[in-house]
Every structure is written in structure tokens, then in C-alpha cells.
């Protein structure tokens, strides 16, 4: 099986009001089973989303701040995407103009897919891609922010490897790999915002639109990296906040993590933790420690320190 | 430009002592400029790294723990990779056997590249790939853990988009996108551990071996996500620890973050922070808050709380 990626040439500037499916149908020769990868940029341009005020766009797109460093603000968008500057883009747009992500990239993918079916008679899948930074690694890759007609995750659960070992946890993020591969084929500088991927395992293609790229977004409650490490500390000290995963920790667990020193007594009674110490400064330290640990574990407790003198 | 990905058929079981380059040369028809993507699995198998004790392997591979949840331990390996169970693999290996990552995947890539040049006369690039989970997103993608003859990051710095806007920050992680694309073409279940990528922009290919995939590893000092959010809180409360990025914070900055309440006075004298309060429990709370913030900002200060009564 050969996988072939063909960038679509001849697409010029996309303008507000343009029909993205019509533009693709005009310039590409499609076949049943093709995956059409479209940059979010031309989807947003066609939707007329460009605006001059980056700060206002950022505020509108931001669900919450995840981490900050220097001038860079990594936020979780309303889509659930974690991206620097909410994915707002100033490259390949008119100078002084900023382009946010489409408000519903899965809906955009479905629309383009339906348009291509109508215009070309071909049953294709559509991926809407954007460029994102990653934790732990330099550089960016293109990822799928919208998807229709393709399984975004290939669930291996229940299948076996060639030794008969069950494959329990692996689920390749197919749509993200498709988006990254398309980026390789297009090259950002050439203004080729559409790439056709041919030869993908047909097992991955779906008759209906499928679950969309929203299904690749990790649920906030299970995300271990919902805050930068520094921001997590600031958040836990400030009080209950989003960005920490759900745990099943009990008050006893956080007492165990608090490294209570000799001379300080901590007792747990239901959701109340009581601290006693002849040294009230030490009692205050343990109180703050327990409160921060409770916030980080999303545990609701009250922590009382009594001055035992 | 068409990008074509061809999985190499006919590679059977790879055994300790096997010559990976010879196996590839035997089964693939290569051309100058091809990129040969090889799963780390067969590199590790050929190196005879399989072992029966997963816990011991994990301890050997772990530089430090990044985050834990249930039975899953996400660690930073000695390579600088952040991966669940240090990338140790139990699929597609003999039952009861576990396979760690190669100790120096860039060296493995260079060796295979040199071997292919010798055996085929072709100047190709080599990527050693592995499967990794991601922050914020479900599923896994294949990434490049080793690389030779290919620019792993395409530096856009200094170039301009088609509007003349400078591209300052974008650097596509080409090697990771190549690895992900190869995963798409191979399919994990088919035991096709080698994929040939043809048609990649020759600007990305290098005469020499190049900087290797180690250059995609984000330096720990600049990694905003060096610890899970929950683990970051536990670490900051426990004391100086790795996993927090370098900042240029001063003692005044962390005092500003500490939300000092009325009735508590905090003064900064060089690297010493002094807390005074008529309420010693409150003083203790602020002391713990400042210590945790100092650890999260990698700031060395001493924090003294005096009982003002």
C-alpha cells in the first residue's frame, strides 16, 4: 500500500464569502476514498474572521490560560485546544490583520465534505488542520482541529499483535498524523493550503461524518498537563481552579503527602482536617500545604489550625 | 510535488545481532533522497535489548518521573523524551518480554544510514521512530527519536510569508511529521517496521548526518510542562526539584504572587524574605506559600517568619 500526498496547486488568495469546497473542487482531481486536508487558515479567511485587534481576538478565543512565558500565552480555547495565542495567526494574512481559528472546525469539515460530494460526486474525507506547539518538544506539527469522514483515532483496543498479545492502550491519532503529513507535502511558504491524501487504509474511512476531531481533545478532567508546572503551583496556592485532573484522593492521602513534621498533629474527621501544634507558624505552614494539595487533587476539605498554646 | 510513502514488505522477525541496514537493503529499493523510517522496535530487537523485568528496565530508563496516574507512569528518559513507561514496549515482542528504547537513537540512525550508503550506494536519510502519547490530546502519534541526514526542524526564522510578513517562530518538526506519516502508511499490526518516504523537499535533506532528533527535545530549563500539574504542586511544596522552567523572577515577584493578607508584613532584603504578623498561623501560611513559589520559580531565597507577639 502506497500513501500518496499531492498538494493542490493554483489556489490563489481566499477571500471572505468564498466557497472552500468549490475552490477545492475546481483545482483538485478527487477520487472516492481520498482525504482532503485543508488548512484552517483558508476556512477562517473564507468565513471572514480576520480582525485587526489581536488582544480582543485572544480574549474571545480563550477559555483559560494554561501557561505563560515572556510574551507567549498558551491558552485552552473554547474548542478545548491548547495552543499558543489560541492559534491566532498573523502569517500568510494581510499585514496588520489576525486570523482566529474557525469557531467549529468539525462543522467546517462536514460542510466542505458535503460540498465536495455534491460538486464532484466523490465520497472523500476532510481534515481541517492547524499548526500547534507541543509539550516537551521543540518545533510545531500540524494537527487536525476538524475532521469528517475519517476515524480521528484508530482504536486498537481488543486487537492483537502478531504474537497474540492484546493491544490495550494504543490508539494512533490518525487525523493528526494525516495533518502533519500534509504539512510536509505542502510547505508553508508555497501557499498551497490543500493537500489530497490518497491510499489511506479504507478501514479508517467512515460512511458518515464520524466523531470529528473534537474526539481527539483530551477531556480536561483527565488531562495531567492542564497547567504549566509553574502555573499549577500558583493556581493551587490561590485556591480552587481549573487545570487539575480529577483524582480519587481522600483527605488521608493529602495528609500523607504533606510531610507533617514532628510536633505537629493532624487529624482527619470526614472532610475536616484539624492541625494542632505548639508552634503556630509550623501549623500555618502545614495548613497552607494541605490546602494547596487539596486544590491540586480537587478535594473539598476544610483545614483548621488551632493555636495550642 | 508528490510525497509518496511505501511500506517495505517481507521483513520478518528481527533477532539479536541482525544488521538492520542489511535487512532494509535486502527488501527495499532505494533512491538518493529517500527518507527511510525505521521503528525503534527493530533497532532495539537487533541490539538484543529485550528483557523480562519491566520494573528494572523502567528504573534504568528513567531520568525522573513527570506525572503518574493509576498504573501509568510518565517519565523523562535519559534521552530527554517524555513518555509513558519510558517507551518500554510489550507489543509485537515475545510474550513476557519487554523492549526498551535504543540507548542512542541518533547513533542508530547514523549507523543505519552509513550501512545503507555502503550497501546500496544511495544517499538516504534515516529516521528512527517510536510511538508517544501527547499532552492535551487523546491517542498517540509516532515521533522521531533518532534521525540522520534530515533537518529534524525546518527553521523558518528569517524567511517571509507571501505577504512579506517575517516568519519568526514557526519551525515545523519535520522529523516528527515524517515519523507520523510513516506510521499511517505502515499500520502497526502488519509488522512492516520500515517505510520509505520519497519526494520530501530536498531542502530538508542534509549532506552530513545533521543535528539528530536530540535537537527536537525541548531543553528541560525551558520546558513549561516538565511536571504534571498535580505533581508540580507536590514537588514545589516538598522543596527544590527538577521539572520547573528557568525564570528571571526576583523575590519581589513571588511576594506579589503570594496574595499577602492585611495584617501580615513581608519585607525583602536581598535573598531573604522576612514575614511579620500578629497571627503566627497566618505567617506560617505565607511562609509556605513563598517557599513553594520560590521553588516553582527556581529562586533561591530564605524565608523567615518571626512570631511578633
E strand or H helix at B284:
helix B280-296
Average pLDDT over residues B73-77: 97
Q: Is the pLDDT of residue A178 over 90?
A: yes
Q: Do B180 and A181 touch (CB under 8 A)?
A: yes
Q: Do B135 and A140 touch (CB under 8 A)?
A: no
CA dist B67 and B231 (Å) reads 6
Q: Is the four-CA dihedral B282, B283, B288, B290 of positive or negative sign? A: positive
SS3 at position A50:
coil
| B chain contacts of residue A308, beta-carbon cutoff 8 Å | none
CA dist A272 and A274 (Å) reads 6
- List C-alpha distances in Å: B239 to A55, A247, B223, B235, B306: 37, 23, 19, 6, 21
Q: How many CB atoms lie within 10 A of CB A261?
A: 11
Q: Which CATH class is domain B4-49+102-217?
A: alpha beta
CB A276 within 8 A of CB B276: no
Average pLDDT over residues A133-143: 96
Interface list for A 25-54 with B (CB within 8 A) = none
Locate B102 and state its grid cell. 535504543
Give residue A91's pLDDT band: very low, low, confident or very high (50, 70, 90). confident
Q: Is the pLDDT of residue A309 over 60?
A: no
Chain B interface includes A65 (CB < 8 A): no
Percentage with pLDDT > 70 across chain A? 93
Lowest mean pLDDT among A94-103, A159-168, B214-223, B227-236: A159-168
Tell me what percent of chain B is helix, strand and coil, each rounded to the nearest 5.
Answer: 35, 25, 40
CA dist A202 and B139 (Å) reads 19
Chain A interface includes B226 (CB < 8 A): yes
The pLDDT, as a whole number, for residue B190 is 60
B214: closest CA of chain A, how far (Å)? 10
Strands (E), B9-109: 35-39, 62-69, 72-77, 82-84
Q: B65, B70, B138, B150: best mutation site toward chain A, by most A Cβ within 10 Å? A: B138
The pLDDT, as a whole number, for residue A232 is 98
Chain B interface includes A233 (CB < 8 A): yes
CB B179 within 8 A of CB B238: no
The residue behind cell 520530501 is B200
Q: Is the pLDDT of residue B157 over 70?
A: no
Q: Is the pLDDT of residue A167 over 90?
A: no
The pLDDT, as a whole number, for residue B155 is 80
Nearest to B147 by CA among B197, B222, B187, B184: B197
Q: Is the pLDDT of residue B91 over 80?
A: no
Lowest mean pLDDT among A11-15, A118-122, B22-26: A11-15
What DSSP designation does A217 have?
Answer: B
Residues whose CB is less than 8 angstroms from the CB of residue A221 and which lie 6 or more positions away in sequence, other chains included = A245, A246
| B chain contacts of residue A297, beta-carbon cutoff 8 Å | 230
Give residue B245's pLDDT band: very low, low, confident or very high (50, 70, 90). very high
Q: B76, B152, B281, B290: best mutation site toward chain A, by most A Cβ within 10 Å? A: B281
At residue B124, what are phi and psi to the nearest 5 degrees? -120, 165
Q: Is the pLDDT of residue B191 over 80?
A: no
Give residue B92's pLDDT band: very low, low, confident or very high (50, 70, 90). confident
The pLDDT, as a whole number, for residue A306 is 78
ipTM above 0.85, yes or no: yes
Locate B215 and state its grid cell. 535537537
At residue A82, what are phi and psi to the nearest 5 degrees? -105, 110
Average pLDDT over residues A239-255: 95
| A chain contacts of residue B230, beta-carbon cutoff 8 Å | 224, 232, 244-245, 247, 296-297
Count chain A–chain B contacts defined by CB atoms under 8 A: 348
Give residue A125's pLDDT band: very low, low, confident or very high (50, 70, 90). very high
The pLDDT, as a whole number, for residue B169 is 58
| A chain contacts of residue B67, beta-carbon cutoff 8 Å | 224-225
CA dist B7 and B11 (Å) reads 10
Pairing of strands A35-39, A125-133: parallel
Average pLDDT over residues B100-125: 98
Chain B interface includes A287 (CB < 8 A): yes
Lowest mean pLDDT among A20-34, A178-192, B142-156, B244-258: A178-192
CA dist A57 and A66 (Å) reads 17
E strand or H helix at A141:
strand A140-148
Q: For chain B, give me the number of helices (H) and strands (E)?
A: 8, 13
The pLDDT, as a whole number, for residue B77 is 98
CA dist B108 and B126 (Å) reads 9
Q: Do B163 and A94 touch (CB under 8 A)?
A: yes
Q: Do A143 and B131 touch (CB under 8 A)?
A: no
Q: Do B184 and A164 touch (CB under 8 A)?
A: no
Least CB-CB distance to A162: which of B67, B92, B161?
B92
Least CB-CB distance to B156: which of A67, A188, A201?
A188
The residue behind cell 474571545 is A60
Q: Do B287 and A285 touch (CB under 8 A)?
A: yes
Chain A interface includes B217 (CB < 8 A): yes
Q: Is the four-CA dihedral A223, A226, A232, A237 of positive or negative sign? A: negative
The pLDDT, as a whole number, for residue B253 is 96
Q: Is the pLDDT of residue B110 over 80?
A: yes
| A chain contacts of residue B184, beta-carbon cutoff 8 Å | 3, 172, 174, 177-178, 181, 200-201
Q: Do B161 and A281 touch (CB under 8 A)?
A: no
| A chain contacts of residue B73, beta-carbon cutoff 8 Å | none
Give residue B90's pLDDT band: very low, low, confident or very high (50, 70, 90). confident
Measured between CA atoms, the residue of chain B closest to residue A195 is B2
Dihedral of the alpha carbons of B200, B205, B210, B214, in degrees to the nearest 10: -10
Q: Do A307 and B281 touch (CB under 8 A)?
A: yes
The pLDDT, as a whole number, for residue B93 is 79
Least CB-CB distance to B218: which of A136, A227, A257?
A136
Chain A interface includes B71 (CB < 8 A): no
CB A131 within 8 A of CB A90: no
Which tens digit of pLDDT belongs to each residue from B14-32?
A: 999 999 999 999 999 999 9
Give residue B168's pLDDT band: very low, low, confident or very high (50, 70, 90). low
Nearest to B49 by CA among B85, B14, B22: B14
Chain A interface includes B296 (CB < 8 A): yes
Please calculate the CA angle A75-A81-A82 and round it to the nearest 5 degrees.
40
CA dist A72 and B158 (Å) reads 19
Q: Do B180 and A183 touch (CB under 8 A)?
A: no
Least CB-CB distance to B82: which of A136, A167, A259?
A136
Q: Is the pLDDT of residue B40 over 80?
A: yes
- Report the b/e string of A10-33 with b at 16+ CB within 10 A: ebeebeeeeebbebbbeebebeeb
CA dist A170 and A148 (Å) reads 22
Chain B interface includes A237 (CB < 8 A): yes
Q: Could you tell me the residue ranges of all domains in chain B?
A: 4-49+102-217, 229-307
The pLDDT, as a whole number, for residue A166 is 62
- Report the b/e string of A137-165 with b at 16+ CB within 10 A: bbbbbbbbbbbbbbbbbbebeeeebeeeb
Average pLDDT, chain B: 93
Give residue B309's pLDDT band: very low, low, confident or very high (50, 70, 90). low
The pLDDT, as a whole number, for residue B188 is 57
Lowest mean pLDDT among A43-57, A215-229, B167-181: B167-181
Chain B interface includes A130 (CB < 8 A): no
Residues whose CB is less than 8 angstroms from the CB of residue B248 and which lie 6 or more positions away in sequence, other chains included = none
Which tens digit of pLDDT belongs to each residue from A263-302?
A: 999 999 999 999 999 999 999 999 999 999 999 999 999 9
Q: Is the pLDDT of residue A169 over 70?
A: no
Q: Do B229 and A215 touch (CB under 8 A)?
A: no
Q: A4, A34, A83, A134: best mutation site toward chain B, by most B Cβ within 10 Å? A: A134
Amino acid at each position: 500500500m502506497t500513501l500518496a500526498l499531492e498538494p493542490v496547486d493554483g489556489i490563489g488568495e481566499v477571500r471572505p464569502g468564498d466557497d472552500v469546497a468549490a475552490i477545492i473542487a475546481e483545482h483538485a482531481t478527487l477520487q472516492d476514498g481520498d482525504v482532503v486536508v485543508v488548512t484552517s487558515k483558508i476556512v477562517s479567511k473564507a468565513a471572514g474572521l480576520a480582525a485587526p485587534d489581536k488582544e480582543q481576538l485572544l480574549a474571545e478565543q480563550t477559555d483559560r490560560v494554561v501557561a505563560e512565558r515572556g510574551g507567549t500565552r498558551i491558552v485552552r480555547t473554547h474548542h478545548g485546544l491548547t495552543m499558543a495565542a489560541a492559534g491566532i495567526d498573523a502569517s500568510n494574512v494581510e499585514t496588520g490583520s489576525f486570523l482566529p481559528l474557525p469557531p467549529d472546525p468539525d462543522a467546517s469539515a462536514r460542510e466542505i465534505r458535503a460540498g465536495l460530494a455534491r460538486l464532484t460526486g466523490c465520497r472523500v474525507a476532510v481534515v481541517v488542520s492547524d499548526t500547534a506547539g507541543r509539550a516537551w518538544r521543540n518545533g510545531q506539527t500540524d494537527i487536525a482541529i476538524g475532521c469528517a469522514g475519517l476515524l480521528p483515532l484508530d482504536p486498537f483496543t481488543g486487537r492483537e499483535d502478531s504474537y497474540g498479545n492484546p493491544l490495550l492502550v494504543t490508539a494512533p491519532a490518525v487525523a493528526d498524523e494525516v495533518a502533519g503529513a500534509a504539512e510536509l507535502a505542502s510547505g508553508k511558504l508555497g501557499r498551497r493550503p490543500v493537500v489530497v491524501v490518497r491510499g489511506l487504509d479504507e478501514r479508517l474511512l467512515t460512511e458518515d461524518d464520524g466523531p470529528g476531531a473534537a474526539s481527539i481533545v483530551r477531556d480536561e478532567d483527565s488531562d495531567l498537563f492542564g497547567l504549566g508546572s509553574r502555573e499549577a503551583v500558583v493556581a493551587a496556592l490561590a485556591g480552587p481552579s481549573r487545570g487539575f485532573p480529577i483524582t480519587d484522593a481522600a483527605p488521608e492521602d493529602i495528609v500523607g503527602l504533606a510531610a507533617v513534621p514532628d510536633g505537629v498533629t493532624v487529624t482527619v474527621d470526614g472532610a475536616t482536617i484539624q492541625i494542632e501544634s505548639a508552634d503556630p507558624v509550623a501549623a500555618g505552614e502545614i495548613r497552607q500545604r494541605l490546602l494547596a494539595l487539596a486544590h491540586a487533587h480537587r478535594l473539598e476539605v476544610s483545614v483548621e489550625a488551632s493555636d495550642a498554646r
